[in-house]
Chains A and B, each alone.
Chain A
């Protein structure tokens, strides 16, 4: 594979990244010496990572910081209207990074939300970085929870921590991570703060060193909860290995046409653990 020929700075020999250390000993990327930005690289990565989040939380800033690309970053919502792709190498693995359009939820069916949702479901990223605006935590968590119903392989980048600090907001990161069941990394992507830690978590979730179990939203309505559980059990029997049965059950109860189609043509069965459906990612786009 092409990845093998690339220079891969090792953790134990950080000096291979010479200028990064000598030139900027104090800057954020001094610790991210293992990061190689690959820009737009047509080669297939070892892992697919997605960047999701509400509009204007800094998704594209994170994307650019990791890939070295210069996706236009603007301080206004709705700037990324299609998926952008780039790649980077961290330690031994190459990642294909997909920048999804910002959405407030995955519940309605607008174009942007469909792109994001279909990619999370059918593109089956190995890890999804959800970029969260720390100054608007509650509204952002609505989306985080929805994503956690689809995939467990999530790392939350608690971004804009510098702004949150200026506004007198303190967040108990460990508590938040426990509640959500996935790693939470405080970052200020604009300054590069927290990105080394983010990369570390991304790697651990992608290669399975850390097994995450995202919180499941329980339905308050007892009848609904019963219906979801019943249908989820049927789904688990029918599609062993499918790990988001409760979410699929909810979508089926709501009569979501694209999920119904996936049940009918058997696509859903292929979404469990196992071989990655390379084609499904293309279709979903």
Chain B
């Protein structure tokens, strides 16, 4: 065929060309671009940009100050989130959980609905959903716009620049820090974003470690634990600051674990060259405040909330059912918790928390409501709640439930924070990992490795705390 003849001709012509002709193609291209630019563009050198941008970059990507600024900025964001969310969360709790639930229950009884249906829908589905909305909406509505403003300003590539050296030392790709940034919103999105990494080896490292970026579903757990257990240790004036510090500590621990695991993988099963890449530092842009507020509220906050609500509704129903369907002498939930209790003790957690983590595999968002509901149901009945009814409590009462009914200590709270960082990805993320890798092996590794780390770390802190007699 003549088509093949063309390929032969190309082959023949290629053999006549000097070996480096590819370079000369690029050179021709670049010199044309340079010529066109020089004839079309004039720059007033007096007003050359750079002065402000350069000064900012010098500070924000400084070897030492860069990290200090990073710490202060993220700390500030969390402190603002924690301090600002407390009030609105309380109002929503009163409105949706206290008043709304009572009203709905009255309505259901009024129209003569059977008790099991009222229980399942009002006490299970509605209460679970209302809880998630009250706990998650305010912090997310503050956290996302703040984070988006930083992003819009152009700060994230500077973070990537700062972390680049560390990732290079860990044998991973510098762009991994950008995929981490996506992971702080949602790990499934973070895993997808690893497509910007070309080398398969480095991409796998980024996928496996993305789970150590704390996602939306996990921030509320950290913020709540930090507020009611860690923050409470400090005098009231400092409580917010200490709580924020504990959350930032866990987040930084996540970065540390990311680096360590990346290093471990690149030295063992995923050995290879580190790729060279260029990271462009975009200009700083004044953030478009109103547009950012609008889009981050609509796109991120409501999207995340929708997902949480979709997951919370069936979970609420499932919890109500397992708590109310008896098997032998106790409810199904009680059997499961009893079975998981020894393992929970070993990890400085308890059976309820482990069961909650199984229930919450579809969505981390529902961990706290699940824990509270199970604790209320299975523990001594302090507040006259019916079996399987999710909470109608404020933050102060939440602590009372966990401490008195659940037997929680500071160790339980701290280990829950650690376990929140180190456990299996949610089912959506696992599915995404499968879609991106198409490898059963790596999907399993990405799922089991964080869980194993979580077991190891919490068992270690629990044993240490017990040996030292802290608990």
Interface residues of A (CB under 8 A from B): 55-56, 70, 72, 74-79, 81-82, 104, 107, 110-112, 135, 137-139, 141-142, 144-146, 163, 166-173, 175-176, 179-180, 190, 215, 217-221, 223-224, 227, 230-231, 234-235, 238, 249-250, 252-255, 260, 263-264, 266
Contact = CB atoms under 8 A, between A and B. Distances in A.
A210 to B, nearest CB: 20
B280 A55 contact: yes
A228 to B, nearest CB: 9
Contact of A81 (B3, B29, B151, B193): B193
B146 to A, nearest CB: 15
> Which 9 A-B pairs give the minimum distances between C-beta atoms?
A168-B47, A168-B44, A141-B33, A167-B49, A252-B10, A81-B195, A138-B37, A78-B196, A227-B13
Contact of A112 (B6, B43, B156, B196): B196
Contacts of A112: 195-196
A29 to B, nearest CB: 15
A276 B97 CA distance: 58
Interface in B32-66: 32-34, 36-37, 39-49
Interface in B15-30: 16-18, 21-22, 24-30
B283 A142 contact: no
Contact of A263 (B3, B34, B45, B151): B3
A220 B28 contact: yes
Nearest to B151: A74
A121 to B, nearest CB: 17
10 contacts: A70-B298, A75-B152, A75-B156, A138-B37, A142-B29, A168-B45, A217-B28, A219-B24, A238-B2, A263-B7
Contacts of A171: 40-42
A74 to B, nearest CB: 5
B288 to A, nearest CB: 7
B195 to A, nearest CB: 4
Interface string B278-294: 11101101001000000
B40 A172 contact: yes
Given A75-B151, A135-B283, A249-B10, 17 more contacts: A110-B198, A145-B29, A146-B29, A163-B283, A166-B49, A171-B42, A172-B39, A172-B40, A176-B40, A179-B39, A180-B36, A217-B32, A231-B10, A252-B6, A253-B17, A254-B25, A266-B3
B9 A231 contact: yes
Interface string B408-444: 0000000000000000000000000000000000000
A170 to B, nearest CB: 5
Interface string B304-345: 000000000000000000000000000000000000000000
Contacts of B39: 172, 175, 179
Contacts of A218: 28
B84 interface: no
Contacts of B49: 135, 166-168
A168 B153 CA distance: 21
Contacts, number: 171
B31 interface: yes
B25 A82 contact: no
B299 interface: yes
Contact of A179 (B13, B31, B36): B36
B175 interface: yes
Interface residues of B, number: 63
A223 B44 contact: no
Interface of B is mostly: helix
Given A75-B282, A166-B49, A220-B24, A138 B299 contact: no
A77 B282 contact: yes
A138 B33 contact: yes
A172 B47 CA distance: 18
B282 A56 contact: yes
Nearest to B156: A76
Contacts of A235: 6
Nearest to B196: A78
Contact of B153 (A75, A138, A220, A252): A75
B464 interface: no
Nearest to B47: A168
Contact of B40 (A179, A223, A266): A179
A81 B17 contact: no
Contacts of B195: 81-82, 111-112
B299 A70 contact: yes
Nearest to B2: A238
B273 interface: no
Contacts of A231: 6, 9-10, 13
Interface in B47-92: 47-49
Contact of A77 (B9, B153, B280): B280
A234 B7 CA distance: 11
A253 B458 CA distance: 60
A123 B357 CA distance: 46
Nearest to B34: A138
Contacts of B7: 252, 260, 263-264
Contact of B154 (A76, A170, A180): A76
B14 interface: yes
Nearest to B279: A77
B141 to A, nearest CB: 17
A137 B37 CA distance: 7
Given A77-B157, A168-B46, A223 B17 contact: yes
A243 B163 CA distance: 46
B6 A167 contact: no
B4 interface: yes
B192 A81 contact: yes
Given A70-B298, A141-B33, A111 B198 contact: yes
Contacts of B175: 78
A146 B28 CA distance: 11
A193 to B, nearest CB: 14
Given A145-B29, A190-B288, A254 B22 contact: yes
Contacts of B26: 107
A25 to B, nearest CB: 20
Nearest to B203: A111
A163 B47 CA distance: 12
A267 B26 CA distance: 27
